[in-house]
Amino acid sequence: ALVVGLVNRAILGFVGATLGVVSTILLVVGAGPQITPTTTLLDILGYAGLGAGIILLLRVVLAAVRESP
């Protein structure tokens, strides 16, 4: 059970970090179809991905804090 929990946290941390990096790249690109005059589709996807990545990383942190003695 301990190994499964550690592997689960490692995978969630990796996915959250990867999602954050990819989302940052989407925000930096600056191209893409315009949704409004100032917002592109890549901006929306980038910010949504950053939010999801932060939530995943916070889940990993909270699981580690909850389990520590």
The string of pLDDT tens digits covering residues 24-69 is 999 999 788 999 999 999 999 999 999 999 999 999 999 888 876 6
Look up the pTM and report it. 0.82
Enumerate the H helices of 1-69 as residue ranges: 2-29, 41-67
Q: What is the pLDDT at residue 68? A: 65
1 vs 33, higher pLDDT: 33
Q: What's the mean pLDDT in 4-17?
A: 91
Q: What pLDDT is recorded for position 43?
A: 93
